[in-house]
Amino acid sequence: MTTITINGISIDPTAPKRVLAALALDNTTAKDSDYIIVQVKRPLDKTQRKALAKAGANIIESVPGNAYICHFPKADLAKVRALPLVSWADLYPKIVKISPSLREVEARPGGVTAAVAVMDTIGKLDATRKTVDVVLHRDVNPKRAAKRIAEAAHLPQSRVTILRGKVRLVVKERRLNDLAALDEVRHIEEVLPRKLLNAIARQVLRLPTGATPPGGEGEGEIVAVADTGFDAGSRTNVHPAFKGRVKKLYALGRPGRKDDPDGHGTHVAGSVLGDGLSGTEGAVRGTAPKAKLVLQSVLDNSDGLGGLPDDLNDLFDPPYARDKARIHTNSWGSTGNFGVYDQQAHEVDQFVHQHRDMLICFAAGNEGVDRNANGQIDPNTVTPPGTAKNCLTVGACENNRPTKTLTYGEGWPSDFPANPISADMVANNPEGMVAFSSRGPTNDGRIKPDVVAPGTFILSTRSRATESQGWGLSSDPLYMFDGGTSMATPLVAGCVANVRAFLRTSHGNAKPTAALLKALIINGARDLTGQYVPSETGGIPNNNEGFGRVDVQSVVGPYPAGETVTFFDEETALDTGETEQRVLTVAASSTGLKATLVWTDPPGEGLQSDLDLIVKAGGLERHGNMPAGSADFDRANNVEQVVWKNVPAGSVTVAVAAHKVTLEPQKFALVVRVQ
């Protein structure tokens, strides 16, 4: 007899009676449901279907495994089971109604394993909210079912959306079983974002979707990009992905020339805010597709970056002062002097310190290499100015494009000569680091990069003035694939634009500081699990991924039920020896606390101000960036974080103490997440 699969869950009618009983598939009658599943010995012909209907079972649909879902308003199953064509019949099983993804169980065929695993989770769901589609049996009227569905979900009927053949709602996970108990329900599935082509990276970064997503896709934000140029060099004759959103172009490297013969700058700009619709590739969007662009072309006539000013303050100031840009992204760096805090880094810190609402992003670099062929990437390869304290430095995790089968050994055989790196594909696991992504620490022991984002086979806009094909053309010559921390960084810059717009529109913070934006991005980041044994990442924070992979939804919401995010934006300043503390209450149902402290340190090598993050709960104390139980404090970083899983319930104190302040009382941003 063939295994029956419904909703990704397999059941085997030949399983032992005890197993079928555990799955509630040992019913003698159908008095408890109007729907049954009937497995037959072979496909039914017209006569056989009539025979089945005569026995009271009207076919609604077929399912894999020579089976049918039938409407059966009668109680006596014996007549159906007695038909020669029927090999097995029972009530439509509740076990198949809740999708495995909602149970965090892998759906896999081949017997009752998956079904039993799902059954084992019944009653263990929590109050986390999920957007789901309650899919109805095909003969059910959704309007009539909506009331019962709302009642089962403990929601007013106005909170459910009636669609064709289904009802959509946001429901607590613990109510899923109540919904599954409704007879008219075929199955329940999680509503996931539709996959757009550049949305492969967007999905990894969890950009919210919907008619009016939190952050508004960066609308109202102006992002400055310093790179090789822009498309054909015009604000009016533009690549279609940027129509109406190019605010200003600067020619810094070639007098009067703003175009992009290299192709790098246009690809970077598209990853920030492109909004393209390709006839062959579909929608290709950056992470902030409603933001506006200011681009500074720094490509010179020798194909170098001679347009970069000697003092980087002169790079950042014009877009800030003239164009109101408050996010500046840079996918370039100085190679050969890794980890150093040089004058470029000083200038970055200087500008942010003097213009506290400008967040500057820098790529960590593509200098990761396994020189000693031990299968592990060497440390200390972050390129300046990404070594600055006050910028957001971005490394690269892999993208999720497993059809791109390039391996590290094929692409860079001398850099990655040993497994597990050499044979690994470069874009098949977003939980893994890109091998060539530069690692920290900086020479003064600071954690870099700060965060990571996808950086392999990123699909974005292609300059109409270039012959470059990047890592490969797409089916549409207006778009191409490329890779590197150069690609990860603009994706993060667009994420920052979403966060900044969210703060403006939802919290009334018209001038959020760079420290707050950085703290929110870092606090929302998710720890990578890694892809090798031992893991190439480690627990956060670390010098491979920093504080993790950017997760926009964790910042702007919607948050899971019971999760709160509170933040404080340079509200006070502390001098040496001073402490500010906040007391909050953690419920017994909470699973953890995550606090992130960021301050814009005055320019200079090493910390000019040294603040400490201290969290106290249940008679215990945790210190920023230190392992649990350590009495030590971080003396190197101006980003500190405490992640406290299973934090004791009750009163929790989050304190910021000034260990050292060199120049003037130090302001700071603090973000506290209670899960």
pLDDT tens-digit profile of 586-598? 999 898 999 999 9
- Indicate if 160 and 203 belong to the same structural domain: no
**Residue 198's closest CA among 454, 17, 398, 6?**
454
DSSP state of 271: H
The verdict on 244 and 351 lying in the same domain is: yes
Which residue do the tokens 């598209």 mark? 270
pLDDT band for 637, please (50, 70, 90 cuts). very high
CB atoms within 10 A of CB 630: 11
Backbone dihedral angles phi then psi of residue 133, each to the nearest 5 degrees: -105, 120
Helices (H), 138-263: 142-153, 176-180, 199-204
Token duo for residue 279: 């006839």
Q: 259 and 397: one domain?
A: yes
- CA nearest 526: which of 557, 548, 495, 552? 548
Domain identity same for 474 and 518: yes
In angstroms, the CA 225 to CA 222 distance is 10
Q: Which residue, 497, 524, 551, sits at the end of a domain?
A: 524
Q: Is the peptide bond before 420 cis (omega within 30 degrees of 0)?
A: yes
Q: Which residue has the higher pLDDT, 242 or 303?
A: 242
Confidence of residue 133 (pLDDT cuts 50, 70, 90): confident
Q: What is the CATH number of the domain that holds 516?
A: 3.40.50.200
- State how far the Cα of 579 lies from the Cα of 520, in Å rounded to an integer: 22
Instruction: Tell me if 534 is assigned to some domain.
Output: no
Q: 254 with 391, same domain?
A: yes
Lowest mean pLDDT among 42-56, 100-114, 450-464, 570-584: 100-114
103 assigned to some structural domain:
no
Q: Are residues 630 and 503 in the same domain?
A: no
- Of 173-187, 201-215, 422-436, 507-521, minimum mean pLDDT range: 201-215
| pLDDT value of residue 194 | 29
Q: What does each C-alpha distance from 520 to 435, 444, 450, 502 come to in angstroms?
A: 27, 25, 12, 11
Contact 86, 40 (CB under 8 A): yes
397 and 470 within one domain: yes
Residue 127 is predicted with a pLDDT of 65
Please report where in the chains the tokens 């920030």 appear, as a residue.
272
Q: Is residue 134 part of a domain?
A: yes
Cα–Cα distance for residue pair 62/68, rounded to 1 Å: 4
The rounded distance, in Å, linking the Cα atoms of 456 and 401 is 8
- Asked whether residue 114 is assigned to any structural domain, the reply reads no
In sequence order, what E strands does 342-430 have? 359-363, 392-397
Cα separation, 503 vs 557, in Å, equals: 12
Strand spans (E) along 323-475: 327-330, 359-363, 392-397, 451-454, 458-461, 472-473
Mean residue pLDDT of the chain comes to 91
Structural domain contains residue 109: no
Q: Determine the Cα angle at 285 with ends 283 and 287, to 5°.
A: 150
First-last CA distance in the chain: 47
CB 598 within 8 A of CB 518: yes
For 29-165, list the strands marked E by DSSP: 35-40, 58-63, 67-71, 86-91, 129-136, 161-163
Q: Pick from 479, 503, 524: which residue ends a domain?
A: 524
In this structure, are 264 and 358 located in the same domain?
Answer: yes
- The total number of structural domains that make up the chain: 4
Q: What is the pLDDT of residue 164?
A: 80
Amino acid residing at 400: N
What's the mean pLDDT in 307-320? 94
351 with 486, same domain: the answer is yes
Claim to verify: residue 369 and residue 505 sit in the same structural domain:
yes
Could you say which of 470, 500, 524 is where a domain stops? 524
Does 174 have pLDDT greater than 60? yes
118 pLDDT more than 50:
no
What value does the mean pLDDT take over residues 330-336?
Answer: 87
Its sign, for the CA torsion 373, 376, 380, 381, is: positive
Q: What pLDDT digit, counting tens, does each position of 342-376 carry?
A: 888 989 999 999 999 999 999 999 999 999 999 99
| CATH number of domain containing 616 | 2.60.120.380
Asked if residue 10 belongs to a domain, the reply is no
Residue 574 to residue 105: CA distance in whole angstroms: 48
The answer as to whether 575 is a domain residue is yes
- Same domain? 175 vs 53: no
pLDDT for 113 beyond 50: no
Residue 9 forms part of a structural domain: no
Instruction: Give CA–CA dist 303/301, Å, rounded.
Output: 5
Lowest mean pLDDT segment, chosen from 103-107, 134-138, 168-172: 103-107
* More confident position, 391 or 130: 391
How deeply is 508 buried, as exposed, middle or buried, from its count of CB atoms within 10 A (0-12, 13-18, 19+)? exposed
Residue with tokens 């500074």: 296
Type of residue numbered 603: P
> In which domain, by residue range, is 372 found?
199-301+312-524
Same domain, 464 and 597: no
Say what the pLDDT of residue 399 is.
96
Strands 222-227 and 292-297, sheet pairing: parallel
* Residue 135: closest CA among 104, 101, 99, 178: 99
For position 59, which CATH number holds? Answer: 3.30.70
Tokens of 364: 């960590």
User: Helix (H, G, I), strand (E, B), or coil: what is residue 159?
Assistant: helix
